[in-house]
Protein backbone atom coordinates (compact mmCIF):
# COMPACT_ATOMS: atom_id res chain seq x y z
CA UNK A 1 0.00 0.00 0.00
CA UNK A 2 1.33 3.45 -0.87
CA UNK A 3 2.09 5.92 1.89
CA UNK A 4 -0.10 9.00 2.09
CA UNK A 5 1.05 12.46 3.06
CA UNK A 6 -1.84 14.44 4.51
CA UNK A 7 -2.04 18.10 5.53
CA UNK A 8 -3.94 17.95 8.82
CA UNK A 9 -5.66 20.69 10.80
CA UNK A 10 -4.46 20.19 14.36
CA UNK A 11 -5.44 23.53 15.94
CA UNK A 12 -8.11 26.08 15.05
CA UNK A 13 -6.46 29.23 13.67
CA UNK A 14 -6.88 32.56 15.39
CA UNK A 15 -6.87 35.10 12.61
CA UNK A 16 -4.46 34.28 9.82
CA UNK A 17 -3.50 30.60 9.89
CA UNK A 18 0.07 29.84 10.98
CA UNK A 19 2.22 26.73 10.47
CA UNK A 20 1.54 25.54 14.03
CA UNK A 21 -2.13 25.07 13.15
CA UNK A 22 -1.26 22.24 10.76
CA UNK A 23 0.78 19.07 10.51
CA UNK A 24 2.01 17.21 7.47
CA UNK A 25 1.51 13.59 8.46
CA UNK A 26 2.63 10.47 6.65
CA UNK A 27 0.43 7.42 7.05
CA UNK A 28 -0.48 4.28 5.19
CA UNK A 29 -3.42 4.27 2.81
CA UNK A 30 -6.21 2.08 4.11
CA UNK A 31 -7.22 -1.27 2.73
CA UNK A 32 -10.29 -0.90 0.53
CA UNK A 33 -13.68 -2.29 1.43
CA UNK A 34 -16.19 -3.35 -1.19
CA UNK A 35 -17.48 -0.22 -3.02
CA UNK A 36 -14.52 1.93 -2.12
CA UNK A 37 -11.71 3.31 -4.23
CA UNK A 38 -8.49 5.19 -3.69
CA UNK A 39 -8.06 8.48 -5.53
CA UNK A 40 -4.52 9.68 -6.21
CA UNK A 41 -4.97 13.45 -5.98
CA UNK A 42 -3.02 15.35 -8.63
CA UNK A 43 -4.42 18.83 -8.01
CA UNK A 44 -5.98 20.47 -4.96
CA UNK A 45 -8.21 23.54 -5.18
CA UNK A 46 -7.37 26.26 -2.64
CA UNK A 47 -10.37 28.49 -1.91
CA UNK A 48 -11.18 31.25 0.61
CA UNK A 49 -14.15 29.28 1.93
CA UNK A 50 -11.73 26.73 3.40
CA UNK A 51 -10.77 29.32 6.03
CA UNK A 52 -14.34 29.26 7.35
CA UNK A 53 -14.34 25.47 7.59
CA UNK A 54 -11.31 25.68 9.91
CA UNK A 55 -13.38 27.55 12.52
CA UNK A 56 -15.48 25.74 15.11
CA UNK A 57 -18.73 27.28 13.93
CA UNK A 58 -21.90 25.70 12.61
CA UNK A 59 -22.20 26.42 8.92
CA UNK A 60 -23.47 24.92 5.68
CA UNK A 61 -20.71 22.31 6.10
CA UNK A 62 -19.50 21.00 9.46
CA UNK A 63 -16.20 22.36 10.76
CA UNK A 64 -13.11 20.36 9.80
CA UNK A 65 -12.44 18.04 12.75
CA UNK A 66 -9.08 18.53 14.41
CA UNK A 67 -6.76 15.80 13.19
CA UNK A 68 -8.51 15.55 9.81
CA UNK A 69 -6.94 16.76 6.58
CA UNK A 70 -7.95 20.26 5.51
CA UNK A 71 -11.10 19.85 3.40
CA UNK A 72 -10.59 20.78 -0.25
CA UNK A 73 -11.81 19.94 -3.73
CA UNK A 74 -9.36 17.70 -5.53
CA UNK A 75 -8.95 16.02 -8.87
CA UNK A 76 -6.99 12.90 -9.48
CA UNK A 77 -6.94 9.42 -10.95
CA UNK A 78 -8.29 6.26 -9.43
CA UNK A 79 -5.30 4.31 -8.14
CA UNK A 80 -7.09 1.28 -6.70
CA UNK A 81 -10.72 0.34 -6.81
CA UNK A 82 -13.30 -2.06 -5.47
CA UNK A 83 -16.07 -0.04 -7.11
CA UNK A 84 -16.88 -0.89 -10.75
CA UNK A 85 -18.27 2.63 -11.36
CA UNK A 86 -14.87 4.13 -10.55
CA UNK A 87 -12.32 2.10 -12.55
CA UNK A 88 -8.57 2.38 -12.01
CA UNK A 89 -7.02 5.07 -14.22
CA UNK A 90 -10.12 7.22 -14.57
CA UNK A 91 -10.09 10.87 -13.56
CA UNK A 92 -12.44 11.84 -10.72
CA UNK A 93 -13.07 14.95 -8.65
CA UNK A 94 -14.63 15.41 -5.26
CA UNK A 95 -14.69 17.31 -2.02
CA UNK A 96 -11.83 15.55 -0.32
CA UNK A 97 -8.82 16.90 1.56
CA UNK A 98 -5.29 18.17 1.08
CA UNK A 99 -3.79 14.69 0.93
CA UNK A 100 -2.03 12.55 -1.61
CA UNK A 101 -4.70 9.86 -1.55
CA UNK A 102 -8.39 10.13 -0.73
CA UNK A 103 -10.66 7.25 0.06
CA UNK A 104 -13.81 7.41 -2.07
CA UNK A 105 -17.01 5.54 -2.56
CA UNK A 106 -18.94 7.79 -4.98
CA UNK A 107 -21.93 9.92 -4.06
CA UNK A 108 -21.92 13.47 -2.73
CA UNK A 109 -19.68 15.71 -4.77
CA UNK A 110 -17.62 12.83 -6.12
CA UNK A 111 -17.89 12.22 -9.84
CA UNK A 112 -15.91 10.91 -12.77
CA UNK A 113 -14.79 13.64 -15.13
CA UNK A 114 -14.13 13.52 -18.86
CA UNK A 115 -10.62 14.81 -19.50
CA UNK A 116 -11.36 15.11 -23.23
CA UNK A 117 -14.14 17.67 -22.68
CA UNK A 118 -11.83 20.48 -21.58
CA UNK A 119 -8.46 21.91 -22.60
CA UNK A 120 -6.82 21.13 -19.25
CA UNK A 121 -7.76 18.71 -16.52
CA UNK A 122 -7.37 21.53 -13.98
CA UNK A 123 -10.39 23.22 -15.58
CA UNK A 124 -12.39 20.87 -13.38
CA UNK A 125 -11.06 22.75 -10.36
CA UNK A 126 -11.52 26.16 -11.95
CA UNK A 127 -13.84 27.24 -14.73
CA UNK A 128 -16.05 24.16 -14.63
CA UNK A 129 -15.44 23.16 -11.04
CA UNK A 130 -16.81 24.67 -7.86
CA UNK A 131 -15.47 28.08 -8.89
CA UNK A 132 -17.22 28.11 -12.24
CA UNK A 133 -20.40 26.69 -10.76
CA UNK A 134 -20.33 29.36 -8.05
CA UNK A 135 -19.93 32.17 -10.57
CA UNK A 136 -22.66 30.68 -12.76
CA UNK A 137 -25.38 30.07 -10.17
CA UNK A 138 -24.57 32.99 -7.87
CA UNK A 139 -24.64 35.51 -10.70
CA UNK A 140 -27.50 34.09 -12.75
CA UNK A 141 -29.80 32.75 -10.03
CA UNK A 142 -29.19 35.14 -7.14
CA UNK A 143 -28.17 38.20 -9.17
CA UNK A 144 -30.73 37.72 -11.96
CA UNK A 145 -28.90 40.09 -14.35
CA UNK A 146 -30.77 41.31 -17.40
CA UNK A 147 -29.22 42.45 -20.67
CA UNK A 148 -28.35 46.14 -20.51
CA UNK A 149 -27.98 46.18 -16.73
CA UNK A 150 -24.83 47.19 -14.88
CA UNK A 151 -23.02 44.52 -12.86
CA UNK A 152 -20.41 45.53 -10.28
CA UNK A 153 -17.99 42.88 -9.02
CA UNK A 154 -15.55 43.08 -6.12
CA UNK A 155 -12.58 40.75 -6.01
CA UNK A 156 -12.99 40.97 -9.76
CA UNK A 157 -9.53 39.61 -10.59
CA UNK A 158 -10.07 36.61 -8.35
CA UNK A 159 -11.14 33.21 -9.56
CA UNK A 160 -14.88 33.69 -9.09
CA UNK A 161 -14.83 37.40 -9.89
CA UNK A 162 -13.07 37.01 -13.22
CA UNK A 163 -15.67 34.46 -14.34
CA UNK A 164 -18.58 36.54 -13.07
CA UNK A 165 -17.49 39.47 -15.21
CA UNK A 166 -17.24 37.31 -18.30
CA UNK A 167 -20.57 35.55 -17.76
CA UNK A 168 -22.24 38.92 -17.17
CA UNK A 169 -20.81 40.15 -20.49
CA UNK A 170 -22.07 37.00 -22.22
CA UNK A 171 -25.51 37.95 -20.87
CA UNK A 172 -25.30 41.45 -22.33
CA UNK A 173 -24.50 43.42 -19.19
CA UNK A 174 -22.12 46.30 -18.63
CA UNK A 175 -19.44 45.18 -16.15
CA UNK A 176 -17.35 47.09 -13.62
CA UNK A 177 -14.68 45.31 -11.63
CA UNK A 178 -13.01 46.31 -8.37
CA UNK A 179 -9.55 44.94 -7.64
CA UNK A 180 -6.38 45.86 -5.75
CA UNK A 181 -3.55 47.42 -7.75
CA UNK A 182 -2.99 48.77 -11.23
CA UNK A 183 -1.77 45.49 -12.66
CA UNK A 184 -4.90 43.60 -11.62
CA UNK A 185 -7.09 46.43 -12.86
CA UNK A 186 -5.40 46.34 -16.26
CA UNK A 187 -6.03 42.60 -16.37
CA UNK A 188 -9.71 43.10 -15.61
CA UNK A 189 -10.11 44.94 -18.89
CA UNK A 190 -7.58 43.16 -21.12
CA UNK A 191 -8.19 39.59 -19.94
CA UNK A 192 -11.70 39.44 -18.51
CA UNK A 193 -13.50 41.99 -20.68
CA UNK A 194 -14.62 44.32 -17.91
CA UNK A 195 -15.91 47.64 -19.25
CA UNK A 196 -14.35 49.55 -16.36
CA UNK A 197 -11.96 48.82 -13.49
CA UNK A 198 -11.64 50.46 -10.08
CA UNK A 199 -8.50 50.12 -7.95
CA UNK A 200 -9.61 50.13 -4.33
CA UNK A 201 -6.10 50.59 -2.97
CA UNK A 202 -5.46 53.91 -1.30
CA UNK A 203 -9.12 54.87 -1.54
CA UNK A 204 -11.28 55.87 1.40
CA UNK A 205 -14.87 54.65 1.51
CA UNK A 206 -15.98 58.00 0.11
CA UNK A 207 -13.40 57.84 -2.69
CA UNK A 208 -14.57 54.38 -3.55
CA UNK A 209 -18.22 55.43 -3.61
CA UNK A 210 -17.29 58.33 -5.89
CA UNK A 211 -15.30 56.05 -8.22
CA UNK A 212 -18.27 53.68 -8.47
CA UNK A 213 -20.63 56.58 -9.23
CA UNK A 214 -18.32 57.69 -12.04
CA UNK A 215 -17.93 54.21 -13.48
CA UNK A 216 -21.67 53.48 -13.16
CA UNK A 217 -23.42 56.75 -13.99
CA UNK A 218 -26.73 54.87 -14.33
CA UNK A 219 -26.28 53.05 -11.03
CA UNK A 220 -25.65 49.42 -10.21
CA UNK A 221 -28.30 46.76 -10.79
CA UNK A 222 -26.34 43.77 -9.55
CA UNK A 223 -23.44 43.92 -7.12
CA UNK A 224 -21.45 40.73 -6.75
CA UNK A 225 -19.57 40.82 -3.45
CA UNK A 226 -16.46 38.76 -2.76
CA UNK A 227 -14.75 41.08 -0.29
CA UNK A 228 -16.98 42.92 2.20
CA UNK A 229 -16.21 45.84 4.52
CA UNK A 230 -15.83 49.28 2.96
CA UNK A 231 -16.23 47.90 -0.54
CA UNK A 232 -19.66 46.49 0.28
CA UNK A 233 -20.70 49.77 1.89
CA UNK A 234 -19.62 51.77 -1.15
CA UNK A 235 -21.41 49.39 -3.50
CA UNK A 236 -24.64 49.59 -1.50
CA UNK A 237 -24.68 53.36 -2.03
CA UNK A 238 -24.70 52.87 -5.81
CA UNK A 239 -27.59 50.40 -5.92
CA UNK A 240 -30.51 51.04 -8.22
CA UNK A 241 -34.12 50.45 -7.20
CA UNK A 242 -34.75 46.70 -6.95
CA UNK A 243 -30.98 46.13 -7.05
CA UNK A 244 -29.53 42.76 -6.09
CA UNK A 245 -26.45 42.20 -3.96
CA UNK A 246 -24.99 38.72 -4.32
CA UNK A 247 -23.05 37.96 -1.15
CA UNK A 248 -20.66 35.32 -2.38
CA UNK A 249 -17.67 35.92 -0.15
CA UNK A 250 -16.28 38.29 2.46
CA UNK A 251 -12.58 37.61 2.10
CA UNK A 252 -11.68 40.86 3.88
CA UNK A 253 -12.85 39.39 7.17
CA UNK A 254 -12.15 35.67 7.02
CA UNK A 255 -9.08 36.12 9.21
CA UNK A 256 -10.47 38.92 11.39
CA UNK A 257 -13.50 39.78 13.46
CA UNK A 258 -16.57 40.57 11.32
CA UNK A 259 -16.36 44.02 9.76
CA UNK A 260 -19.25 46.44 10.08
CA UNK A 261 -21.59 47.26 7.23
CA UNK A 262 -23.19 50.68 7.64
CA UNK A 263 -25.36 51.05 4.58
CA UNK A 264 -27.91 48.26 4.86
CA UNK A 265 -30.50 51.09 5.00
CA UNK A 266 -29.95 51.42 1.26
CA UNK A 267 -31.77 48.11 0.85
CA UNK A 268 -34.90 49.78 2.19
CA UNK A 269 -34.48 53.01 0.26
CA UNK A 270 -34.07 51.08 -2.99
CA UNK A 271 -36.34 48.13 -2.23
CA UNK A 272 -33.23 46.07 -2.90
CA UNK A 273 -32.12 42.59 -1.91
CA UNK A 274 -28.89 41.12 -0.51
CA UNK A 275 -28.63 37.36 -0.61
CA UNK A 276 -25.97 34.91 0.47
CA UNK A 277 -24.89 32.18 -1.90
CA UNK A 278 -24.06 28.59 -1.01
CA UNK A 279 -23.05 26.27 -3.80
CA UNK A 280 -24.38 23.20 -1.99
CA UNK A 281 -27.92 24.51 -2.55
CA UNK A 282 -27.44 24.00 -6.30
CA UNK A 283 -25.94 20.49 -6.44
CA UNK A 284 -29.11 19.16 -8.10
CA UNK A 285 -28.59 21.62 -10.95
CA UNK A 286 -24.89 21.08 -11.66
CA UNK A 287 -25.89 18.96 -14.64
CA UNK A 288 -27.28 21.96 -16.50
CA UNK A 289 -24.34 24.27 -15.74
CA UNK A 290 -21.32 22.04 -16.42
CA UNK A 291 -22.03 21.53 -20.16
CA UNK A 292 -22.68 25.26 -20.61
CA UNK A 293 -19.47 26.21 -18.82
CA UNK A 294 -17.48 23.60 -20.75
CA UNK A 295 -18.91 24.90 -24.02
CA UNK A 296 -17.90 28.47 -23.15
CA UNK A 297 -14.41 27.28 -22.16
CA UNK A 298 -13.92 25.31 -25.37
CA UNK A 299 -15.17 28.28 -27.43
CA UNK A 300 -12.64 30.55 -25.73
CA UNK A 301 -15.42 32.67 -24.24
CA UNK A 302 -14.48 32.03 -20.65
CA UNK A 303 -10.91 32.73 -19.73
CA UNK A 304 -9.65 31.61 -16.37
CA UNK A 305 -6.10 32.04 -15.25
CA UNK A 306 -4.75 29.37 -12.98
CA UNK A 307 -2.01 29.99 -10.45
CA UNK A 308 -0.45 26.61 -9.74
CA UNK A 309 1.96 26.16 -6.84
CA UNK A 310 3.62 22.80 -6.35
CA UNK A 311 4.13 20.43 -3.46
CA UNK A 312 1.88 19.42 -0.59
CA UNK A 313 4.54 20.83 1.78
CA UNK A 314 3.68 24.27 0.35
CA UNK A 315 -0.03 24.02 1.13
CA UNK A 316 -0.08 26.80 3.71
CA UNK A 317 1.86 29.51 1.84
CA UNK A 318 -0.12 28.69 -1.29
CA UNK A 319 -3.40 28.99 0.62
CA UNK A 320 -2.36 32.29 2.19
CA UNK A 321 -1.82 33.84 -1.24
CA UNK A 322 -5.61 34.11 -1.43
CA UNK A 323 -5.61 36.56 1.48
CA UNK A 324 -2.44 38.39 0.45
CA UNK A 325 -3.75 38.81 -3.08
CA UNK A 326 -0.49 37.51 -4.56
CA UNK A 327 -2.13 34.83 -6.70
CA UNK A 328 -3.00 35.58 -10.29
CA UNK A 329 -6.02 33.49 -11.06
CA UNK A 330 -7.48 30.38 -9.55
CA UNK A 331 -5.20 29.05 -6.82
CA UNK A 332 -4.34 25.37 -7.31
CA UNK A 333 -1.81 23.16 -5.59
CA UNK A 334 -0.20 20.44 -7.68
CA UNK A 335 0.75 17.44 -5.57
CA UNK A 336 1.44 14.77 -8.22
CA UNK A 337 2.59 14.71 -11.84
In the complex, the residues that contact a second copy under the rule CB under 8 A are: 52, 57-60, 228, 232, 241-242, 247-250, 253, 258-278, 281
Among residues 38 and 50, whose Cβ is nearest to a second copy? 50
Q: Which is nearer to a second copy, 76 or 228 (CB)?
A: 228
CB 212 within 8 A of CB 220: yes
Least CB distance from residue 136 to a second copy, whole Å? 16
Which residues on neighbouring strands pair with residue 78, listed in sequence order? Answer: 39
8 A C-beta contact, residue 117 and residue 86: no
- Report, in Å, the least distance between residue 83 CB and a second copy: 31
Beta strands at 37-45 and 330-334: parallel, antiparallel or unpaired: antiparallel
Report yes or no: 297 and 118 within 8 Å, Cβ to Cβ.
Answer: yes
- Measure the N-to-C terminal CA separation of the chain; round to a whole number of Å: 19
Nearest residue to 308 (alpha-carbon basis) of 68, 136, 120: 120
Q: How far is the C-alpha of 275 from the C-alpha of 106, rounded, in Å?
A: 31
CB of 221 to a second copy, least distance (A): 15
For residues 16-49, one letter each, b for 16 or more C-beta atoms within 10 angstroms of the residue's C-beta and e for the rest, the string is ebeeebbebeeeebeebeeebbbbbbbbbbbbbb
According to DSSP, residue 188 is labeled H
Q: What letter would DSSP give residue 140? A: I
**Nearer to a second copy by C-beta: 147 or 268?**
268
Residue with Cβ nearer a second copy (182 or 264):
264
CA angle 172–177–180, rounded 5-degree value: 165
Q: 202 or 217: whose CB is closer to a second copy? A: 217
Minimum gap (Å) between residue 147 Cβ and a second copy = 22
CB of 335 to a second copy, least distance (A): 29
Between 91 and 286, CB nearer to a second copy:
286
DSSP label of 167: H
- Work out how close the CB of 269 gets to a second copy at its nearest, in angstroms, rounded to a whole number: 5
Task: Supply angle C-alpha 192, 224, 252, rounded to 5.
Answer: 100
Q: Do residues 6 and 27 touch, judged by C-beta distance below 8 A?
A: yes
Residues in the chain: 337
Considering the complex, state which of residue 121 and residue 247 has its C-beta at the smaller distance from a second copy. 247
Nearest distance from residue 194's CB to a second copy, in Å?
Answer: 24
In this complex, which beta carbon is closest to a second copy, that of residue 242 or of residue 298?
242
- In angstroms, give the least distance from the CB of 281 to a second copy: 5
Amino acid sequence: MPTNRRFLLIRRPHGTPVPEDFQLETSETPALEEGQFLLRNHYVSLDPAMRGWMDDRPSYLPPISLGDPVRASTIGRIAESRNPDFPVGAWASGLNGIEEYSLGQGGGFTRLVDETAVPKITNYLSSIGAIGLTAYFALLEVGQPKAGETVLVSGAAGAVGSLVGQIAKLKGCRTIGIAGGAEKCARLISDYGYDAAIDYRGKSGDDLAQAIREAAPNGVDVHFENVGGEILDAALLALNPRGRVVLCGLISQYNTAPKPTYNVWQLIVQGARMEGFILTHYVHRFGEAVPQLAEWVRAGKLRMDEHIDEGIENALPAFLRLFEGTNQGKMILKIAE
